[in-house]
């Protein structure tokens, strides 16, 4: 191929990926607001110590944002600090600077024997945090209904790429995030009961993060959903021994993303392709932002994966999640089946 032809091929591939990923969503700009430095904790600090200190940090960040005229951010920070019942919420870490970072616990982490870490995708910041948290709440409520000894950790622990940006097309942000997520998960095991099952549920660009995260035996399941690809050709290339799952709803636009990778742009093999080797789960008619919506087949499947034990279907087959209800069990493969019955949203 000539130099001109090669350059044209790179341009076309990059353009296809950019159009497919960027156009369906609008960017959410994160204001550059002043905030205090994050609280530093000793390794022996208990969850309660962390929760109390981080609520104080959030209050300080809200005050500084208000004084700087960033009233929208200030209001969102005040809402973050207070639960619907008036009690304080539980943050293991918080950083109000820039787009911001926050790691929140829903449920009793120290007594849980099922802990789920949710890893979000692009454009998740403190300004859009409530949308991310709503999914964590829905999952925790679904888990509590069947397995009370569970906790969900909403891990906004990295600088997510903007949807309308070049960073969302490469793994640079994911590599940096994976270097933080791995140690966090290892430390999380020490904050919960011995033998606790930890699951990573990874949405959209978050699936790129999880696919690069080295995990230990405490992580039993790694779930990729709404994924554009991971950059790996198969499950065997991922730095984990966890059971890897993949699913995509039939209404998820990300299925139209070209699954190519060239010169570091794009993410290659589709995780729901049997060739990737992940175990498929029924995702129903979920749209890209609907996987954790109450009442959906996708939420039910994800909850049952977390509870376990894992199903015994061969890799690449369209198996339902463990003990999945008949409606989910009879669903077509996760790669956007047109005939999957719609589960109404709550």
Edge-to-edge strand ranges of the sheet holding 197-203: 90-95, 101-107, 150-156, 114-119, 197-203, 219-225, 243-247, 279-280
Q: Which residue has the higher pLDDT, 150 or 327?
A: 150
Q: pLDDT value at position 29?
A: 45
Q: What confidence tens digit (pLDDT) does each residue in 225-255 have?
A: 999 999 899 999 999 999 999 999 999 998 8
Q: What is the mean pLDDT of residues 173-200?
A: 93
Question: Model-level pTM?
Answer: 0.81
Q: pLDDT value at position 268?
A: 75
Q: pLDDT value at position 88?
A: 81
Structure-token match 């709440």, residue found? 137
By CB neighbour count within 10 A (0-12 exposed, 13-18 middle, 19+ buried), where does 344 fall?
A: exposed
Comparing 15-19, 45-49, 77-81, 250-254, the range with the smallest average pLDDT is 15-19
* pLDDT band per the 50, 70, 90 thresholds, residue 19: very low
* pLDDT band per the 50, 70, 90 thresholds, residue 30: very low
Q: What is the mean pLDDT of residues 61-77?
A: 96
Q: Which residue has the higher pLDDT, 87 or 293?
A: 293
In the predicted structure, residue 337 carries a pLDDT above the cut 60:
no
Q: pLDDT value at position 170?
A: 73
Nearest partner of 193 among 107, 321, 251, judged by Cα: 107
* pLDDT band per the 50, 70, 90 thresholds, residue 173: confident
Q: What is the mean pLDDT of residues 103-132?
A: 95
In the predicted structure, residue 167 carries a pLDDT above the cut 90:
no
Encode burial over 174-208: b for 16+ CB neighbours within 10 A, e otherwise.
beebbeebbebbeebbebbeeebbbbbbbbbbbbb
Q: What confidence tens digit (pLDDT) does each residue in 305-322 have?
A: 999 974 323 344 444 444
Nearest partner of 160 among 140, 146, 181, judged by Cα: 181
């Amino acid at each position: 191929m000539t130099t001109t032809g090669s350059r044209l091929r790179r341009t076309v591939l990059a353009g296809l990926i950019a159009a497919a990923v960027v156009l369906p969503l609008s960017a959410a700009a994160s204001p550059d607001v002043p905030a205090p430095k994050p609280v530093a904790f000793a390794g022996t600090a208990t969850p309660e110590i962390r929760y109390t200190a981080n609520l104080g940090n959030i209050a300080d960040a809200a005050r500084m944002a208000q004084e700087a005229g960033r009233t929208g951010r200030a209001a969102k920070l005040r809402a973050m600090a207070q639960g619907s019942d008036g009690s304080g919420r539980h943050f293991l870490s918080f950083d109000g600077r820039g787009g911001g970072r926050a790691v929140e616990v829903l449920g009793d982490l120290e007594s849980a024997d099922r802990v789920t870490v949710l890893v979000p995708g692009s454009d998740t910041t403190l300004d859009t945090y409530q949308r991310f948290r709503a999914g964590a709440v829905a999952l925790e409520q679904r888990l509590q209904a069947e397995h009370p000894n569970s906790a969900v950790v909403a891990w906004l622990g990295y600088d997510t790429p903007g949807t309308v940006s070049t960073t969302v097309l490469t793994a640079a942000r994911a590599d940096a995030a994976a270097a933080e997520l791995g140690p966090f998960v290892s430390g999380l095991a020490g904050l919960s009961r011995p033998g606790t099952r930890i699951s990573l549920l990874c949405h959209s660009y978050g699936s790129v993060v999880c696919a690069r995260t080295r995990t230990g035996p405490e992580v039993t399941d790694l779930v990729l959903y709404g994924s554009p690809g991971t950059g790996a050709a198969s499950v065997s290339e991922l730095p984990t021994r966890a059971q890897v799952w993949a699913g995509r709803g039939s209404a998820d636009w990300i299925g139209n993303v070209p699954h190519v990778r060239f010169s570091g742009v794009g993410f290659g093999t589709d995780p729901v392709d049997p060739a990737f080797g992940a175990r498929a789960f029924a995702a129903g008619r979920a749209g890209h932002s609907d996987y954790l919506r109450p009442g959906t087949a996708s939420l039910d499947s994800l909850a049952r994966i977390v509870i376990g034990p894992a199903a015994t279907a061969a890799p690449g087959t369209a198996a339902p999640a463990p003990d999945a209800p008949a409606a989910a069990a009879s669903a077509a493969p996760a790669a956007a089946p047109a005939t999957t019955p719609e589960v109404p949203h709550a």
